[in-house]
Amino acid sequence: MHIAWDQFTPYSALTGGLIIGLAVALFILVNGRIAGITGIVSGLLRPKPKDTAWRVAFILGLVAAPVLYQLVATLPPIEIDANLPMIVLAGFIVGIGTRYGSGCTSGHGVCGLSRLSPRSLVATIAFMFTGVLTVYVLRHLIGLGG
Amino acid sequence: MNLVFAFIAGLVFGIGILIAGMANPAKVLGFLDVFGAWDPSLGLVMAGAIAVGVMAFALAKRRSTSLLGQPINLPTNRQLDRRLIGGSLLFGVGWGIAGICPAPGVVLMGAGQFEGVFFVLAMLAGMGVYEWVATTSTPLQAKPTA
């Protein structure tokens, strides 16, 4: 292991993190909701009365972010190395896993850890572990990408 | 009012993701590549988000309603079960394949990346499979997400 100092972007990472935290704070204090994307999206698949509009509004906000961002600045770089079959496979696995595990990076990783939830700590350790393991296998054992 | 603030929360969240570099799958994979050239930036994203989140949830826990008078919806499940761990382990595998988790997937759609569209559709299919299994077998009841 060595640190890729040329890739390290501490200021933008910290700034982006603080802004994500601000969004999380707004959503729980103003709307009384957890900003967990898995929960917000999956709630649309089994709609309950009066439980759909706020989900759609939040998701539209996420979609609008890069659109509005581009009006004032150039979008930060987006590099996608995975090919389409891998993207689809990844999305499908993420869908089953996050729904089964009741949350993802936002719900468990940010909101759950902020709530000091033991469940979310266990979940975050679990998905970080297999995330690191998967990249290790794909990059260093099989030799794909990076 | 509720919907306006849900949209704003999603928008701010999305802008945070863009600035943080979370919408760049190559950067996410660099963070997960602990055994290669490791880019620790996303650790600072988590740290920044949680620093703000901890304060927000500490405040939220002391309130019974949100600033808009909505109930504060905090998860009540405390069980560290096989669903939580198995689902999260699976999620990490999908995350490690493409470097995309649910919220950045939605942001990528807004950035006009067709990969984002395919990722989100596949993710919805995965969640749909979960819903189908949950409704056709009684022991696997759908539980609220974190």
| Mean pLDDT per 10-residue segment, chain A (146 residues) | 92 98 98 96 90 96 98 95 96 97 96 96 98 96 75
Asked if residue A97 belongs to a domain, the reply is yes
| Residue carrying structure tokens 């299919």 | B125
Asked if residue A4 belongs to a domain, the reply is no
Give the pLDDT of residue B142: 53
Asked if residue B143 belongs to a domain, the reply is no
**Could you list the residue range(s) of the whole structural domain that residue A28 is in?**
10-141
Asked if residue B33 belongs to a domain, the reply is yes
Give the pLDDT of residue B145: 62
Contact B87, A94 (CB under 8 A): no
B82 contacts in A (CB within 8 Å)?
none
Question: Per-residue pLDDT tens for B24-37?
Answer: 999 999 999 999 99
Q: What sign does the CA torsion over B13, A131, A96, B51 have? A: negative
Is residue A2 classed as helix, strand or coil in its secondary structure?
A: strand
Query: For chain B, what is the HEC assignment?
Result: CHHHHHHHHHHHHHHHHHHHCCCCHHHHHHHHCCCCEECCHHHHHHHHHHHHHHHHHHHHHCCCECCCCCECCCCCCCCCCHHHHHHHHHHHHHHHHHCCCHHHHHHHHHCCCHHHHHHHHHHHHHHHHHHHHHHHCCCCCCCCCC
Give the pLDDT of residue A49: 87
Asked if residue B14 belongs to a domain, the reply is yes
> What's the complex ipTM?
0.96
d(C-alpha A143, C-alpha B25), whole Å: 18
**Could you list the residue range(s) of the whole structural domain that residue B53 is in?**
2-136
Terminus-to-terminus CA distance in chain A, angstroms?
Answer: 14
- The number of angstroms, rounded, from the C-alpha of A81 to the middle of its chain's C-alpha atoms is 18
Q: Does B52 touch chain A (CB under 8 A)?
A: yes
Q: Does B117 touch chain A (CB under 8 A)?
A: no
Interchain CB distance below 8 Å, A127 and B6: no
Asked if residue B83 belongs to a domain, the reply is yes
Interchain CB distance below 8 Å, A122 and B80: yes
Best CA proximity match to A11, nearest among B47, B4, B120? B47
Asked if residue A1 belongs to a domain, the reply is no
Asked if residue B123 belongs to a domain, the reply is yes
Give the pLDDT of residue A131: 98
How many domains are there within chain B? Answer: 1
Q: Does B132 touch chain A (CB under 8 A)?
A: no
Asked if residue A34 belongs to a domain, the reply is yes
Give the pLDDT of residue A53: 96
Best CA proximity match to B23, nearest among B35, B12, B32, B15? B15
Q: Does B139 touch chain A (CB under 8 A)?
A: no
Asked if residue B73 belongs to a domain, the reply is yes
How many domains are there within chain A? Answer: 1
Q: Does B81 touch chain A (CB under 8 A)?
A: no
Interchain CB distance below 8 Å, B24 and A77: yes
In the predicted model, residues of chain B with pLDDT beneath 70 are: 138-146
Output the six-digit token pair for B16. 């945070």
Asked if residue B141 belongs to a domain, the reply is no
Asked if residue B22 belongs to a domain, the reply is yes
Asked if residue A137 belongs to a domain, the reply is yes
d(C-alpha B109, C-alpha B116), whole Å: 5
